Structure 1
């Protein structure tokens, strides 16, 4: 059975968020193609995601760099280390990933980076090899649905956008195949064309969902 993890980073809720509305269009199309697919939703503004704070950084360093055993960590370090692994364990259990986020100040909401920080686990999502680090999640597929108030595509702003760029780099590092981003932009520039922009993005999302659902997964 296909398994899709739907990860959102928008605090507005479905009624007010254009990105979440586009995301729902994607899910409907994906389910139409794969009606038996298991889908889980994670709202990063509601989820309890470990933060890369002093305790978690220390725990990672002790175990990864200095050979500590789990039971040798301080209690707070151990709790956060286990919580990080729980996030990564859940992630690797899925075949498809959909990320939905807006552009905030040239990037994504901080909760998305916080979530991604938990996925970089040596021996689980990537491995160190003689040729360098190599992703361990090959055969899986992901897509980013991103909304932008401004205009970035084919403008000088393109090189300043770092949210979509970072997410694609991170996912590819883990070995995941990343489909073309579904972008809806210019909402602030063209307030009279909001519905038109939104509908075009929904149609693109539906097409991408069909592409993802129809693609053969490899192991």
Structure 2
């Protein structure tokens, strides 16, 4: 049974969030095509997970570069690094990923970056080679659904968007194939047109969901 992990980074909730409504349209379409697939939702604003701090930075360095074992770490370092690996192991167990986030101040909410930080584990999700890092999460696919208050696509502001760009770089680094991003933008510039913009994004999300569900995963 293939599995889809639905990861959201929006504190508004489904009733208020335009992005989450678009995401739900994606999920419904995916489920229609693949009713056998297991789907799990993660709300990053409600998820209690370890984030990069002094203990984790030291633990990663000790294990990766200085030859320490888990037993040689402090209690706090060991507890946090094990929780980090547990979260990464859960992520690795899935085949498909859907990220839903708004654009805040040119980027994604900080909680999404914090979550992605937990996935970068040498030897587990990527390896160092003579030709540079190589992602180990091949054979998986992901998509990003992003809402933007302003208009960025096709304008001088396009180069300033860094949320979707970073996510795509990060997933590609880990070996995950990224689909085209579903973007709903100009929502604050044209509030009266917001329902129309959202409906158009839902249609694109539905098409993307069907594509994801029907396209065989790369081997």
CA-based RMSD of the aligned residues comes to 0.6
- Confirm whether residue 100 of structure 1 aligns to residue 100 of structure 2: yes
- Confirm whether residue 185 of structure 1 aligns to residue 185 of structure 2: yes
Within a 5 Å distance, the mapping from 1:77-156 to structure 2 comes to: 77-156=77-156
Q: C-alpha offsets along residues 106-137 of structure 1, whole Å, 9 cap, x if unaligned?
A: 00000000000000011111111121110001
Residue 122 of structure 2 aligns to a residue whose secondary structure is coil
Name the CA distance, whole Å, in 1 between partners of 2:28 and 2:87: 26
Alpha-carbon shift at residue 176 of structure 1 (Å): 0.5
Name the CA distance, whole Å, in 1 between partners of 2:48 and 2:191: 35
Partner of 1:52: 52
Residue 218 of structure 2 aligns to a residue whose secondary structure is coil
Partner of 1:11: 11
TM-score w.r.t. the length of structure 1 is: 0.99
Uncovered stretches (5+) of structure 2, i.e. residues with no partner = none
State the number of aligned residues.
Answer: 219
- Confirm whether residue 203 of structure 1 aligns to residue 203 of structure 2: yes
Name the CA distance, whole Å, in 1 between partners of 2:175 and 2:151: 30
Q: C-alpha offsets along residues 63-103 of structure 1, whole Å, 9 cap, x if unaligned?
A: 00101000110000001100110111000000000000000
Name the CA distance, whole Å, in 2 between partners of 1:146 and 1:84: 26
Q: Is the 8 A contact 1:49 1:114 kept in 2?
A: no
Partner of 1:172: 172
Query: 4+ residue runs of structure 1 moved beyond 4 angstroms?
Result: none
Q: C-alpha offsets along residues 166-188 of structure 1, whole Å, 9 cap, x if unaligned?
A: 00000000000000000000011
Alpha-carbon shift at residue 218 of structure 1 (Å): 2.6
